[in-house]
Amino acid sequence: MVFDIHLHTRNYSGCSSIEAEDLVRRAEELGLDGIALTDHGIRWPEDRVEALREACGVHDLVIIPGQEITCYNGSWKREGDFLVFGVKESLGSGLSARELINLVHEQGGVVIAAHPYKRSRRGDTYYGVGDGMADLDVDCIEALHPEHDDAAIQKVRAFAESRGGIPLTGGSDAHELSMVGACTTLFHAPVTCEQDFVDALRKGKVTPRWAK
């Protein structure tokens, strides 16, 4: 099953131009089996996800509510972005990376280091956690991302291998409709609900993929 697991909508991410209904229809056009909604700091409520599905008349597309969290240390220095799944409440952006990971693991969820080597606009820092991954117990790493070049991908792969094979994922991080599906994650186990999704990530039954 192929999912785009990193997507932003206008509903809860002010930086996105994507209407949720358009996102669902585009995912169907692309032949995706599922999508994950990862708006910034906010998890889509279950009833809103169901209402979205009904409004689009979609029943085969799996829609997973997640969130992207920006973490900061005690002095408000940015520690990077992380995708979170399996937590039922919205987490905002006030946690440190370690606090986030501990909280998510306590609730049975998973944490993905999002685009760890995505360059900042200045080019001398990263929006992601970068080499700081070495100090964190992340469950997966987003290897394929539209702003990860070959060097970034090689860094991710080398780090994952050095840690015994941390699972790797792909996601488009789409803020515009045209980017949906640019990078995806292939799930090697059936996913029909959020728990299936979380279990597959935790067990490493996933492979990152570029769009064909």
CA distance to 31, 35, 58, 185, 209, per residue, from 212 (Å): 12, 17, 24, 13, 9
Per-residue pLDDT tens digits for 20-67: 999 999 999 999 999 999 999 999 999 999 999 999 998 899 999 999
DSSP bridge pairs for 126: 119
The DSSP code for 174 is B
Predicted confidence (pLDDT) at residue 212 exceeds the cutoff of 60: no
Share of the chain above pLDDT 70, in %: 99
Query: Would you state the pLDDT for residue 210?
Result: 86
Query: Would you state the pLDDT for residue 125?
Result: 80
Non-local CB neighbours of 46 within 8 Å, separated by 6+ positions:
65
- Mean pLDDT of the residues in the chain: 95
Per-residue pLDDT tens digits for 130-149: 999 999 999 999 999 999 99
User: Which residue, among 115, 125, 97, 112, has the nearest Cα to 152 in the 3D structure?
Assistant: 115
Name the pTM for this structure: 0.95
Q: Can you tell me the mean pLDDT for 166-175?
A: 98
User: Exposure pattern of 71-104 as b/e (b: 16+ CB <10 Å)?
Assistant: beeeeeebbbbbbbbbbeebbeeebebeebbebb
Cα angle 111, 153, 187; round to 5: 50
Q: What are phi and psi of 62, to 5 degrees?
A: -80, 130
Model confidence at 161, pLDDT cuts 50, 70, 90, reads very high
Per-residue pLDDT tens digits for 106-135: 999 999 999 999 988 776 788 899 999 999
Domains within the chain, CATH numbers bracketed: 2-210 (3.20.20.140)
Q: Can you tell me the mean pLDDT for 82-106?
A: 96
Q: Strands, DSSP E only, in 26-182? A: 34-37, 62-65, 67-72, 78-85, 110-113, 140-144, 168-170
Query: Would you state the pLDDT for residue 69?
Result: 98
